[in-house]
Amino acid sequence: MKINMLLFALFTITTGVAQTKLVTVDCSVPVGSGKRMTGVNTGPQSVVSGTTAACLETIGNELIRTHDYHGPCDYWAYTDFFNYTLQKFNYAFQSHLPTGYHWASTDDQIAEIIHSGFQPFFRLGISFPGGGISPASPMPKDSDAINFKTFAGIAKRTAMHYTAGWDHGFNHSIPY
């Protein structure tokens, strides 16, 4: 049995090595520019991080990720899907109905990002749990504890609100 395991391990390692490829980069030949990967979270006027728009411009930042606001931009804060007082999901929530959304604080954060000259990068989810107001379980499963159909509906309606004008929304160019 041990010999079979050893042979299997050697075969697996040999196969893995045989599939590696050598990549060569010649920095003297320009072929274009890479995609910018810099980004920060909590916004250009954030009290949490102390950042300002001028500082972010100086370091060459273009993207502001919409997480760690601990409220605005977190699905539990702009929808009725989660009751943060009871720390329970509201399984009666219907993601397709505009009445279950409260966009004001999230709209303000997105507007701040855009008006400061940055590109919002909307992160669909929640901030890192902290302060006792985030969901104890960040996984927004449906009542069957298996599916994520309600969260998928929230993600869809959030994208529609900010990029297609749904529920008195906007037509921003925001990557998701």
- Among 40, 102, 98, smallest CA distance to 69 is for 40
What pLDDT was estimated at residue 172? 94
What pLDDT was estimated at residue 160? 97
- Cα 9 to Cα 19: distance, rounded to the nearest angstrom: 16
Distances (CA, A) of 56 to 35, 42, 67, 107, 140: 18, 12, 17, 21, 33
DSSP label at residue 146 = S
Instruction: Please check whether residue 91 is in contact with residue 147, taking contact to mean a CB–CB distance below 8 angstroms.
Output: no
Question: 100 vs 43, which has greater pLDDT?
Answer: 100
* Overall average pLDDT of the 122-145 stretch: 73
Q: How many degrees, rounded to 5, is the angle at CA 9 between CA 8 and CA 10?
A: 90
Q: Is the pTM of this model over 0.85?
A: no
